[in-house]
A = this chain, B = another copy of it.
Amino acid sequence: MADGDTPVTMSDVARLAGVSTATVSRVVNGRYGVSASTIAQVRSAIERLGYESSLVATSLRRSRTNVLGLVTHSFQSYTAEVLKGVMDALRQSGFDLIIYANSDLYGTYSEGWEQRHLTRLSGTLTDGCIVVTPWGEVRSSTPVVVIDPVRDSTVPSVTADNLAGATQVVEHLLGLGHRRIGFIAGRSSLAAAWSREEGYRRALAEAGVPADPTLIGRGDFNPESAIPLARALLERPDRPTAIFAASDGMALKVLEVAKELGLDVPGDLSVVGFDNIPESALAEPALTTVDQSMYRLGHEAARMLKSLVTGEWEGPRQILLPTRLVVRGSTAPPRITTPQITKRP
């Protein structure tokens, strides 16, 4: 009860109940072949001693730990949302979650980091891992599910339908009357970044709007990376009337830059993001964005990993989740390059 007492083991229980440890084990695991009276005796001994089975010893014997891992390089609100989904999917499933994160605060990030942790964990502490937005392809001796994988990855993964989402964004902007639409891209190695850019291109192409490569800024999903890019786009004489940033974090920085330059949003400039992180709804003006339900990404990834570990997964190994355009206050018809009044429907 207090600190410092030696932990009570299964053989303590066995001794008190007058049976063998095998029988105690059977009772604990609810296995067949123990008489009702013995079960009662063992139960009461367990109760009296306050016995808790050792997760460590159990893990060693079975070769399952019932612990899943989550590896992430950053710990922003995106990851936090994912985490909620993961934990909800795992609650009462018998699996515990262990987290490896590199919170990106001291710049100690190194590229092989994820892989190092994966190999250390797999086959030893965890039964499987979820990896969030990795830098490269991952391999492991235990099952892995990747959220937002790199391009052309064959590892089991969960991704939002970024192509559709980005297409909708551009269609929304085109519908408002925008023709010069800037784009701030994400880390190009990620499939998500590529799809969002591809959606941007396709939607423009289908609408017959000529693509202007100089309107594309090369960001990396890090919010800070968007600042110089936004500045460059907005200080041009022929500045775009709208900017679509590949993530909310970057879009919020675009808002700041616009404010700094004295531009009114959405009057002078429309801004759209992607992700729908909680902060976006609170921004001023509230950010139009694409909801990709990071909660669901996490939830599905956990569900998938769980059944992958238990060997009962049926569905596809690459899951695509729907996205949804969320129109808020940061988008409106342009009034600069198209001086005529454009009424909204």
Contacts and interface: CB of A to CB of B under 8 A. Distances in A.
A75 B87 contact: yes
Copies of this chain, complex-wide, total 2
A49 interface: no
Interface stretch (A119-127, A172-180, A219-227): A119-127
Interface of A is mostly: loop
A52 to B, nearest CB: 6
A60 B3 CA distance: 20
Contacts of A143: 3
A98 B98 contact: yes
Given A80-B77, A87-B103, A141-B5, A67 B124 contact: no
Contacts of A103: 84, 87-88, 91
B60 A123 contact: no
Interface stretch (A13-21, A277-285, A320-328): A277-285
A1 B50 CA distance: 42
A99 interface: yes
Interface string A96-113: 111111110110100000
B2 A139 contact: yes
A341 interface: no
Interface in A119-172: 119-120, 123-125, 139-143
A276 interface: no
A124 B52 contact: yes
A144 to B, nearest CB: 9
A141 B3 CA distance: 4
A7 interface: yes
Contacts of A108: 91
A1 B99 contact: no
A331 to B, nearest CB: 18
A59 interface: yes
Contacts of A67: 98
Interface string A234-260: 000000000000000000000000000
A270 interface: no
Contacts of A142: 3
B1 A139 contact: yes
Interface of A: 1-5, 7, 50, 52-57, 59-60, 65, 67, 75, 77, 80, 83-84, 87-88, 91, 96-103, 105-106, 108, 119-120, 123-125, 139-143, 278-279, 282-284
Given A91-B102, A96-B100, A282-B283, 11 more contacts: A2-B139, A7-B124, A52-B119, A54-B124, A55-B120, A75-B84, A75-B87, A84-B103, A88-B105, A97-B99, A282-B284
